[in-house]
Amino acid sequence: MLTTFGESHGPATGGVLDGFPSRVPIDPAFIRAEINRRNPANYPFSTSRKEEDEIEILSGLFEGLTTGAPIAFLIRNKDQRPEDYARLKDLYRPSHADYTYEKKYGIRDFRGGGRSSARTTVAVVAGGAFAKSFLAPEGIRVSGFVSQIGPYRMKDDLTFTETSAALHSPLACPDDNLTAEMLVFLEKVRADGDTAGGVVTCRITGVPPGIGEPLFDKLQSDLAKSVMSIPAVKGFETGSGFAAAAMTGSRHNDRFISSGDSIKTESNFSGGIQGGISNGMDIVFRTAFKPVSSIGREQTTVDREGHEITYEGKGRHDVCVVPRAVPIVEAMAALVIADHLLRNRATHP
């Protein structure tokens, strides 16, 4: 289980991983590389905020191996500018969590959204890197890519397997021609003072059949819960997803076939999960992200007193957060798969 802490413009963010197994080799360079994949400096149309994102591992690691104790880590914020947000303390920004946080807690951190900021996801990526380190020796790989930005979308993302190409793309999209169209589109969006959303497709390979639970903790339910906790996520679907509503059962059914010493399905509309339990096929899901709420245009909103005012978003904001979200989606998925794998071993040794 991962617990995170910290705010967007506080001194640091970090996390604690409980229940992590002992004697798992950890490569600090891999952990740093995963965190760096989220850094905005790697992508065009991202915030100009420059954070070093150096991780300090405080506990749970000794001589390169996990000890079984809680793994605690810290990532300091070095480029925070809380003074940039003083003008926002008495107004509610459109589509932000300002109003809801204040109604729930009676107070809110207006410095970049505080706890609701996507800055806190750096701790999720770090936790996911540890989970990936546990899953790799098991032959399980989690990989994601951008399959859509605005109206530009890959047509074969659910069956696409060459996901490593996304690592070398400026927008984390493995389709070069589509990337070129996306870049032109985003340039226009930026010039208009606007923002864009998109979709991340994630594929998990090597998960054995039998992982998951039959009811409240179904594998797809836990994946959905964790992925939907990422800021700006508005949708989640596994396998055929919403397209299944337009299909017939004879078209949608995944026919079982023999493949050597194993049983597989001829198609994978189930997205690797049936009855809440993995069936051994690749687990595939999509995550939809809304356009970034901070835009460089004038908007009307209200202040604490209910007075209508005009507000224009200023500061360091992404035009499109989707490429940076790929390692966050992967991290959430890795944490869920690792948790279910350990749970399955505990109940079915």
| pLDDT, mean of each 10-residue run, the chain (349 residues) | 90 95 96 91 73 91 97 88 73 88 88 81 96 98 97 91 84 94 96 95 97 95 97 96 96 94 94 97 97 88 89 78 96 98 86
Q: Is 69 helix (H, G, I), strand (E, B) or coil?
A: coil
72 bridge partner residues: 16, 59
Residue 110: alpha-carbon gap to chain centroid: 23
Write out the two tokens for 326: 């790929």
pLDDT of residue 168: 85
Tell me the helix, strand and coil percentages in the chain, rounded to 5. 35, 25, 40
The total number of residues written for the chain in this structure: 349
Q: Compute the half-sphere exposure of residue 24: CA atoms within 13 Å on the CB side of its CA.
A: 22
Phi first, then psi: give them for residue 12, nearest 5 degrees.
-165, 165
Rg, C-alpha atoms of the chain: 21
Q: Is 324 helix (H, G, I), strand (E, B) or coil?
A: helix
End-to-end CA distance of the chain: 20
The type of residue at 285 is F
- Reported as type and span, the H/E element at residue 12 is strand 12-17
pLDDT of residue 119: 85
Backbone angle region of 45, left / alpha / beta, with phi > 0 → left and psi within -120 to 50 → alpha: left
Q: Are 7 and 123 in contact, with CB atoms under 8 Å apart?
A: no
Distances (CA, A) of 36 to 40, 125, 191: 9, 9, 27
Scored b (16 or more CB within 10 A) or e, 245-256 reads eeeeeeebebee
205 bridge partner residues: 141
pLDDT of residue 115: 80
Query: What's this model's pTM, rounded to 2 decimal places?
Result: 0.92
pLDDT of residue 166: 83
pLDDT of residue 80: 64
Q: Are 47 and 89 in contact, with CB atoms under 8 Å apart?
A: no
